[in-house]
Amino acid sequence: MTFAQQLKDAATSYWENSFRHPFVTGIADGSLPLEKFRYYVLQDSYYLSQFARVQSLGAAKSNDFHTTYRMAQHASGTYQAELKLHEKFSKLLNITEEEKKAFKPSPTAYAYTSHLYRAAYHGQLGEIIASILPCYWLYYDIGIHFKGAVPDEPIYQEWIQAYGAEWFKDLVEEQIDRLNSIAEDASEQELKRMTEHFIISSYYELQFWEMAYTLEDWGIPSRLHPVMTGNEGDPS
């Protein structure tokens, strides 16, 4: 079994729950309210802008020029392919420039990208690849898993088709092969850190669906709201 497959097996519970999450199944059967997908597009556009920067840090930390070139190409591809797709979704969903300027990342989007930056700044290329690979791999698996789905909503059809496409498969397999190659010469401590990064990112991928489905914000959870008694402000 390859190192990458070992990592995927270790994160099975997060991946299987991603396939079953109502946000993902709602895209596949067309039942997901557009409000939730609209929220997702805004959060994912933020995520991808940070993701491309982490890919670029991977290019800078590469030990050979070819890998530097390829990681830079991946960063460029994130902009050209995925962000362009989100621009199209933004137009179809009537997301205004004012909304984009006023945008604030959700707690989950902020935490996930912070995790990626931590892996990138403190780790080497293998740790960067391990941290970003679940985003590639899980989306491709979802695209394949729901490839035959024909939701009534055209936006959802396009989303599924994009991640099950051959061009995306090639990018996923390239990064899987790169991680396996790096793992061959990695120390036990490096393998452990790569495993941790992969599993944490897999967790956050699942949480990203939940974030969008619940329209997560920075508010205080309702169970923590103080009960008003009518005596607030009375020091006695």
Query: Is there a contact between 208 and 142 (Cβ–Cβ < 8 Å)?
Result: no
What six digits make up the tokens of 111? 């935490």
Between CA 13 and CA 206 the distance in angstroms is 10
Active-site option among 184, 190, 205, 216: 205
Quick check: is 135 catalytic? yes
**Distance between terminal CA atoms of the chain?**
68
User: Which of the residues 82, 87, 97, 135 is marked catalytic?
Assistant: 135
What does residue 221 show for φ and ψ, rounded to 5 degrees?
-55, 140
Contact 54, 127 (CB under 8 A): no
Q: Which residues, other chains included, contact 43 with Cβ-Cβ below 8 Å and sequence gap of 6+? A: 105, 106, 108, 109, 208, 211, 212
Confirm whether 153 is a catalytic residue: no
Both tokens of residue 175?
A: 């990064």
User: What is d(CA 195, CA 160) in angstroms, rounded to the nearest whole number?
Assistant: 28
Which residues are tagged catalytic? Answer: 135, 205
